[in-house]
Structure formats: C-alpha cells, structure tokens
Structure 1
Amino acid sequence: METLRLRGPRLTLREYRHTPEEVAALHAVHGDPETVRHLPFGVRDFEDCADQVELYLEAAEEEPRTHYRLAVDDPSGEPVGQAALTREDGHAARLGCVLRRDTWGRGYAGEVTALLCALGFETLGLYRLAARCDPANTASARVLARAGFRYEGRIRAESHRDGGWHDALQYSLLAPEWPGPPWAGPPRP
C-alpha cells in the first residue's frame, strides 16, 4: 500500500492504522450522537468503529484505489477526525470530513477541505469534486462556500436514519475554479 500523508499548516491527513488507539479515536467521533447527527449514519459502537478501520485499510489496498478514508491529526499529532474522498468515476469524486466535537470552531474543517481538494485536483488529477451536507448543518455549508464550492441543489430523501428520510444539499467545485489551498500564496491564473 502506498502511504498517503497530506500536511497543512496545522493538520495532517494520513492513513489509518489498525490499533486500539486508532479505533478509540474514531469512536470518539462516530460514537458521539451530537457529532453524527448530520451524517447519513447513526452512532457507531466501538466494534463498529473497529470494523470501519478494517474496511478503510482494505480499501487502501484496492487497485485502482477509489476510497480514501484518512485520519485527521491535530498539531500535537492526536487523531481528531476523519477525512474522506471517494472517486465516483474517472474524473470526479465526493469528499467530506467529520471532526471531534471539542475541535469545532477552530477552522479545521476548512483546512481538511483544502487538503482534500489538493488530493483530488493536484494528486489524482480530477476535474470535479462534490460534497453534500445536511440542510441543518449551516457550518458545513459555510465551509464549502468559503472553499469555492457552488451550491447545486437539494437532494430529497438522500439518506434514511433514525426512522426518517433526510435531505442533503449538494455542492461542487471544478478544477479551473479552485484557487489552491489558502496557505499556498496567490491564486493560480
């Protein structure tokens, strides 16, 4: 497996390791009802998180690789969330992230989004990136707008969880529209 590591000014996105500490870090995110309330799945227990890490490692071995599930490390090296990029065809992918609740409000989601855009556009040579968020998750919508994503519309009944159907807002960004990561200097021509 090729080891992927993306570094921003404060955060690092990296491959998962199947250790009890990594599973516990993922569980701190996926096991928190407040953190997952806007996600298309419900609260996961520790065993579910262990199974997820195993799936992430298996997906990293696939050729060609289409799923990138990466741990998000804070400036101290502590895992505080998850970043995801999933190729949907030869030129497009969907991205997203989820962060531990005690890290919210620090600008981490914007940095993760920029790192995922760099992975998609610069490393993988994709043309289109898409992201979805719960209509009630206004913070995620703001992160996407700041990163240059454009609102495309509402997807009705996109997911089913907690006994009900939930809509999603769809955003996209094309390679020529991406100015590059905000810490990389002036926008590209």
Structure 2
Amino acid sequence: MPAPTYPMETQRLLVRPFADRDLKDLIALYAIPEVLRYLYVGPRSDEEITKSLGERRSKTALDAEGDKLILAVEEKATGRLVGEIILVWLSAVHRSAEAGFIIHPTCQGQGFAGEAIRPLLAFGFEEMGFHRIIGRCDGRNTASARVMAKLGMRREAHLLENEFIKGEWTDELVFALLDREWTAPRP
C-alpha cells in the first residue's frame, strides 16, 4: 500500500506523525472541556494521554482495513501543535474511509481544520484509491459540520438520538465525499 510522505505541507501547516515532543501540547489539548464536549472520550489522566501518544506514533500508514492514520497538525510559524487529524480505512471491498479532525479552540475559525484535512483526503482518494470518505460529528457541533461542508462533503444524514454518550442521547450528522466529486473542478 502507498504510504504518505511526511510531513504533508500546506501553506501554514505541517501534517506529520506524532513525536514525543507533542506530549505537553497533547495533554493540554485534551484538558480543554470544549475539545472533549463532542468526543466519545472524556477527561483522561496524563498517564493515559502519554500511553495514547505512543499509540498515535504508530498510526502512520494504512496497510489493511481497520488501520488508522492519526497525525499531528503543527503550525509552521510557531511550531506548536494545533490539533490532530485521522483517516480510518473502513472497508477494502467498498473502498471507504472516515476522516476526522480536532483543532485547538484558540485556532478554530481560521481555516486550520480544512487546510489540515485536505492533504489527507488527497492521499485517501489519489493514493489509496478510496471511492468514498465520510465524516461524522455530533449534531450540535455546527463548526465541524461547516468545515465538512466547505470541504465539499455533502450532508447525507441527520440521525436523531442515535447514540448515548456521556449520559445523554446525541444526534449525529454524517457527511460524505466521493472520488469523482474530489476530482471535479471546484468553484
């Protein structure tokens, strides 16, 4: 299988594998209640985040169905970790994947999420040959929904109260992009 070339560079960002130097920023990111609000995970100890950093460091290639790329998003100008992106290989038969992102609240609203995820979508469609890449978010997460729409993903579903997370029923929005839509001219 093809592997991404790291770092994936954009105008303002480096998308790269996680490194030990990211631990402090990762602990700080996952300590922010606003970051955790729409995630499946709740607060975690520093030890749990340290362990998860080790797991993230090994998620740098998609070799088989079920594999995940989990990559750090670094701001070039400052060298700081501003978030993470993920690409999960869902099905080899259906050539499908799921993309996701987390951006530090102080960096939201500046286009970092879309800028960071584009190279990952390009890798998925152009190198991996995926036919369809989806994105999902909590129905209340209007910022993530806007990012996916700006990426050209179409909203395909609004699932009402389909998951019980952190003591409450939550809605889920499902967005998707097909390979032919990725390669179509954009306005």
Shift of 1:60: 3.6
Matched, 1:70 2:75: no
Alignment of 1:1-189 (within 5 A): 4-17=6-19, 19=20, 21-60=21-60, 63-64=63-64, 66-76=67-77, 77-90=79-92, 91-179=95-183, 187=185
The amino acid of 1:55's aligned partner reads E
Shift of 1:136: 1.1
Q: Secondary structure at the match of 1:48?
A: helix
| Count of aligned pairs between the two proteins | 179
- In 2: Cα distance, 1:161 partner to 1:112 partner: 27
- Give the TM-score taking structure 2 as reference length: 0.86
The answer to whether the 8 A contact 2:60-2:71 is kept is: no
Q: Check 1:74–1:167 CA distance in 2 against 1; reply closer, same or farther (3 A cut).
A: same
- In 2: Cα distance, 1:105 partner to 1:61 partner: 29
The answer to whether the 8 A contact 2:64-2:89 is kept is: no
The answer to whether the 8 A contact 1:85-1:93 is kept is: yes
The amino acid of 1:84's aligned partner reads I
The answer to whether the 8 A contact 1:127-1:174 is kept is: yes
- In 2: Cα distance, 1:61 partner to 1:150 partner: 27
Q: What's the Cα RMSD here?
A: 2.1
The amino acid of 1:4's aligned partner reads Y
**1:183 equivalent in structure 2:** none
Gaps of 5+ in 1: 181-186
Percent of counterpart pairs with the same letter? 32
Gaps of 5+ in 2: none
Shift of 1:88: 0.3
> What does the per-residue CA deviation read over 1:165-184, in whole Å, with 9 as the maximum and x for residues that have no partner?
3221000000100148xxxx
Deviates more, 1:6-15 or 1:155-164: 155-164
